[in-house]
A and B are shown apart, each in its own frame.
Chain A
Amino acid sequence: MINKNKKNNYGLIFIVFTIFIPFIVKDQYQLRVINMVLLYSIIALSVNLIVGFSGQLDFGRSAFVGLGGYWYAIMMLHFHLPFIIAFISASLFCAFVGFGLGMVCRRSSFDYLTLMTVGFNIMCMQVFLNWIPVTNGALGLRLIPSATLFGFSFDTNFKFFYFALFLLIICYIVIKRITKSKIGRAFEAIRDDPIAASYSGIDVANFKVINFSIASFFTGIAGAAIASYVNFISPFASSLDESIYLLQMAILGGLGSLPGSILGAVILVIAPEISRTFYEYRLMFVGFLMVVMMLWVPNGILGKNGIGERVIGIKKLYSDKKNKQKRDNGKRTLLKSKNVFSSKKENNGSGGKKK
């Protein structure tokens, strides 16, 4: 039941801890990685909204990262718009493109929708690569202005951390509310059984479009934020490899679990940064991780029947065992007395009475 007065203590504790991170982590490189984790968390959340909640396998997420980033870069570099307008228009543009993509594949079923998103991703990357007057081709766009709000520029890692954290918290809360609401339930219903969903009065095709629009909005926000942070965007940020990588964040963390998406982003952004040689093998590492995971925790670390739930399950089992033992002891005494009653003829019922 949704209770307005209920406070989420875990979330508050988490936020309080993260607020002090920039004071503890002095190394600029490490702080940079942490900032990227925050931004990729938003993308992983949006992927989760499509793959985990609505059950559509989307291979086109990195295209939206690119679209958001390029839109932001072009608005800032060519049109010199204020930051806030460029930033919000980038996410709205992505939501619009997501709406379009959703309209195209609203009637197609699972596998065909996946292929369509693959096609869309490749198409977007080719546009970024070859539309040289606007996107500067394979060289990418450089010197993209940093985020500035009311004259305050988030140009250092330290300052940007708070901007990214603020964005993540807002996005997390909004996505959480959506998933807990009627809309989120409709997404889950479509994932579990589209036919039964339509028999509950849900317009399945339209909800797919809504789902794509909302998720693309958040991907676009993250894309624009990344472009403003790195000050650079290249077409290779929206390759198919990158899409798979984003997808793996959501799957690793746990489909249908929002904290899981953040965990997935933490693992998959930090792991390749541990060593640069490792970076070369990141897809191999992630691929291996996927194979191992699908065998033991197919729904991700924090997903259904994942590691998190299993730990709780073991605890429960342990307490259940204790309770059961108590109950068994009770049963045994009952059985004993019954046995005594059944052997009444020999004992003349005296045993039962003693009990």
Chain B
Amino acid sequence: MNTLLNVENISKYFGGVKALIEVSMQVKSDEILGIIGPNGAGKTTLFNVLSGFDKPTKGRILYYDKDITGKAVHEICRRGMGRTFQNIRLFGQMKVIDNLLVGMHTKLFVNFIEVVLNSKSGCLKENNAYKKAHEILKYLKINDIAFDLASNLPYGKQRKVEIARALSSQPKLLLLDEPSAGMNPSETEELMKLIGGIEDNFGAVVVIIEHNMQLVMGISDRIIVLNFGKNIAEGTPKEIQNNHLVIEAYLG
């Protein structure tokens, strides 16, 4: 098992607030990594730092053994990192299928001349992208809403569209920020199966932040627990469930 992402002693301070303190972690290929922790533990900040949205105060991030610390968001995305958001960020005035095609932006090599001349090669590439987008929608079982406006969808489907958009950029690493928030139990169960199959179907390693313990314990191979910006425990779901530090963090 080789290491996909290597985070070395990352710290992030917002003025006096220490959101992350010396967090180190590794993401290996062939696994689903869960990140849990109480509210305000710094989970989303960790994602922001990993994806380049926030620059870390200290430390460095290696992605495929290359330093990506402080790189812009779109550059890191181009290297193959996808992400969903805790509060949904869809392109509301666009159709679902167009949302996915925007996600394919970096994989769709159509140049300006092809666009202006509406050339055959450009159309072919577009059509291929359409087909791929439909495949992703089919996998997530939302192909019936492909031509609906994203803002008109119910909450649970918007979440799925967001995952679909992140998948459409063909990432090698997919960061999911609370994908099951606002879903009912049956939807959550379905989502769990879908997330479990992402690795096999799309070849993306999933890192998941989740408050739903049933979900995260069920699908993760390894779990990292954050509390007050510190990495307090790491291990398999069973080890985490019996870790006294974790129990203390959750129950006070």
Contact = CB atoms under 8 A, between A and B. Distances in A.
Contacts of A4: 118, 120, 123
Contact of B101 (A182, A204, A304): A182
Contacts of A188: 91, 93-94, 98, 102
Interface stretch (A40-48, A189-197, A241-249): A189-197
A60 interface: no
Nearest to B109: A182
A310 interface: no
Contacts of B122: 181
B89 interface: yes
Of all A-B residue pairs in the complex, the 7 with the closest CB atoms, nearest first, are A201-B106, A192-B91, A196-B89, A201-B77, A181-B115, A198-B73, A189-B102
Given A196-B91, A199-B77, A199-B83, A186 B116 contact: no
A200 B169 contact: yes
A203 B74 CA distance: 6
Interface of A: 1-4, 174, 177-178, 181-183, 185-186, 188-189, 191-193, 195-204, 256, 304
A202 to B, nearest CB: 5
Given A181-B122, A191-B93, 19 more contacts: A1-B126, A181-B110, A183-B115, A185-B98, A188-B102, A189-B94, A192-B92, A196-B89, A196-B90, A199-B51, A199-B74, A199-B77, A199-B83, A199-B89, A199-B166, A200-B74, A200-B77, A200-B102, A203-B74
B103 interface: yes
A196 B169 contact: no
B194 to A, nearest CB: 20
A304 B149 CA distance: 11
Contact of A200 (B53, B103, B112): B103
B110 A1 contact: no
A3 B108 CA distance: 17
A3 to B, nearest CB: 8
Contact of B127 (A1, A185, A200, A304): A1
B228 interface: no
Contacts of B101: 182, 185
Contacts of B83: 199
B116 A177 contact: yes
B138 interface: no
Given A4-B120, A177-B118, A192-B91, A186 B73 contact: no
Contact of B90 (A1, A183, A193): A193
Contacts, number: 98
Contacts of A185: 94, 98, 101-102, 105
B127 to A, nearest CB: 6
Contacts of B244: none
A202 B77 CA distance: 9
Nearest to B120: A4
A176 to B, nearest CB: 9
Nearest to B83: A199
Nearest to B162: A196
Nearest to A4: B123
Contacts of A177: 115-116, 118
B165 A200 contact: yes
A178 B116 contact: yes
Nearest to B92: A192
A174 B115 CA distance: 8
Contact of A198 (B77, B82, B115, B126): B77
Contacts of B74: 198-204
Contacts of B18: none
B123 to A, nearest CB: 5
25 contacts: A1-B130, A2-B123, A2-B126, A3-B123, A4-B118, A177-B115, A177-B118, A182-B108, A183-B112, A185-B98, A185-B102, A189-B91, A189-B105, A193-B90, A195-B89, A198-B72, A200-B77, A200-B102, A200-B103, A200-B106, A200-B165, A200-B169, A202-B102, A203-B72, A204-B74
B116 A192 contact: no
A304 B115 contact: no
